[in-house]
Amino acid sequence: MSRVLWTVWVLGAITKLSKEEGPDQASSPSCDPMGVCDGRFRSLKSIPSGLTAAVRSLDLSNNEITYIRNRDLRGCVNLKALKLVSNGINAIEKDSFISLQSLEHLDLSYNLLSNLSSSWFRPLSSLKFLNLLGNLYKSLGETPLFSQLTNLQILKVGSIDRFTELQEKDFAGLTFLEELEIDASNLQRYEPESLKSIQNITHLVLRMKQPVYLL
């Protein structure tokens, strides 16, 4: 009788492990010895737990992540590149990027962000590349969004149909910006000289139906 009970217990334990551990292992990002981690197309619902300072590059694009919590990336103090393209992200907690002072590349394009907050970007003093294309926001907010990103070199903003407004303060503080891409195909309001604050730009991509707004 005891042998039968032992067999049943072992089978139950294996079943539990296959349900609880198997999916986590299968969906966890794969990382190489250099700290480059690939977690694309894993059906992830959230940023995986347990990320450490060993991670240098993290690509979680094409998953089902909808929310970034302020604890998700706390351990990634040496992270240089973060890609979260095409997930469905609709909210980011205030201090989600507070540990990412070394981050140079951030791609949040093609998500569902309807409002942007300067608090997200305030800790990112090393950021050089930022892509916010293809989200749901109509403008870049009421206060200068990028004023703390003094090392930013490449910026991509706007969307085909949602982005409707460019304001004079939108690009304030971007002293070293070299490349700017704006998708403003549905632009309805343009404040005069909204692009004047960008002094050193060498490459501009501007998608507009009526470029007369710039005159």
Strands (DSSP E) found in the chain: 30-31, 36-38, 57-59, 67-68, 81-83, 91-92, 105-107, 129-131, 154-158, 165-166, 179-183, 189-190, 203-207
pLDDT at 19 over 80: no
Domain map (residue ranges) of the chain = 38-214
Beta bridge partners of residue 190, listed in sequence order: 166
Token duo for residue 154 = 């490449």
Token duo for residue 94 = 């205030």
How high is the pLDDT of residue 21?
37
The yes or no reply on domain 38-214 and CATH 3.30.420.40 is no
| Predicted model pTM | 0.86
Reported as a pLDDT band with limits 50, 70 and 90, residue 213 is low
